[in-house]
């Protein structure tokens, strides 16, 4: 029995993801074809939506796009996340908004070179210049909503009211 067959169907009976109440009564996940492999990204996507909603409500703005920094070591797969984001947005004020992902490569510090170096691959933690192994990771673990694109009209309206 493959993990997909085993874990897939139970999803439709609800979810225990914290703060995921929307899942059981809102989004039709079986129709969306969510399977085991996407679950982790779905959980992350809901975290993104929650963070963006919180920020937009606090500012009283309408969001057209969410900008995310995604490190190569974040453990999150870009494509699966984009798909999950759509599902996570359903029935929220973010429905129809766009997720714009900025991939952040892994940057390590190399002691012999005394410099930060970008790793061409996460399969080799060694300085690409001199080959010295290193675990001093300076960037690449990001999983951060860093900006919201908001509609200018909304801002002006709010400004006018204030």
Partner 1 sequence: MSEPRLVEVRRNVLKQNDVIARALREQFRAAGVFVVSLVSSPGSGKTTFLEKTLTQLQPRYRVAALVGDLATENDAVRLARSKAPVKQITTGTLCHLEASMVQNALQDWDLRTMDFLFIENVGNLVCPSSYDLGENLRLVLMSVTEGEDKPLKYPTIFNSADVAVVTKNELAEAVEFDWNAAQTSIQAVRPGMQIFRLSAKTGQGMEEYLGFLAQQLAEHRAVAHI
Residue 155: CB minimum distance to partner 1, A = 7
Binds partner 1 (CB under 8 A): choice among 82, 101, 113, 143: 143
- The binder of partner 1 chosen from 26, 32, 59, 113 (CB under 8 A): 59
Q: What is the Cβ-side half-sphere exposure of residue 61, based on CA atoms within 13 angstroms?
A: 18
Say which residue the tokens 């908004």 belong to: 97
- SS3 assignment, position 13: helix
Which among 32-40, 85-93, 109-117 is the span making contact with partner 1, rule CB under 8 A? 32-40
Among 61, 99, 104, 110, binds partner 1 (CB under 8 A): 61
Tokens 């609800």 belong to which residue?
Answer: 14
Interface pick for partner 1 out of 26, 60, 64, 128 (rule CB under 8 A): 64
CA dist., res. 66 & res. 144, Å (int): 10
Q: Which of 26, 32, 60, 67 binds partner 1 (CB under 8 A)?
A: 67
Distance of CA 27 to the CA centre of its chain: 18
DSSP string, 64-128: EEEEEEEETTSS--HHHHHHHHHHHHTTSTTTT-EEEEEEE--EEEETTTTEEEE-S-TT--B-T
Other CB atoms within a 10 A radius of the CB of residue 98 amount to 15
Binding residues among 33-52 for partner 1 as defined by CB under 8 A: 36-37, 39-40, 43-44, 47-48, 51-52
Candidates 82, 101, 113, 155: give the one binding partner 1 (CB under 8 A): 155
Which residues bind to partner 1, rule: CB under 8 A?
3, 6-7, 10-11, 14-18, 36-37, 39-40, 43-44, 47-48, 51-52, 54-55, 59, 61, 64-65, 67-68, 73-77, 122-126, 133-135, 143-153, 155
């Amino acid at each position: 029995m493959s993990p997909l067959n085993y874990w897939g169907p139970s999803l439709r009976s609800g979810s225990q993801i914290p703060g995921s109440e929307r899942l059981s009564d809102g989004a039709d996940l079986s129709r969306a074809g969510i399977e085991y492999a996407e679950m982790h990204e779905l959980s992350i996507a809901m975290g993104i939506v929650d963070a963006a909603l919180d920020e937009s409500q606090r500012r009283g703005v309408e969001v057209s796009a969410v900008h995310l920094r995604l490190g190569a070591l974040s453990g999150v797969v870009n494509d699966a996340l984009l798909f999950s984001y759509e599902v996570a947005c359903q029935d929220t004020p973010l429905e129809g908004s766009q997720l714009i992902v900025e991939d952040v490569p892994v940057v390590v510090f190399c002691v012999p070179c005394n410099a930060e170096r970008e790793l061409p691959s996460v399969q080799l933690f060694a300085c690409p210049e001199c080959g010295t192994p290193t675990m001093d990771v300076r960037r690449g673990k990001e999983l951060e909503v860093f900006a919201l694109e908001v509609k200018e009209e909304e801002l002006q309206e709010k400004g006018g009211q204030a």
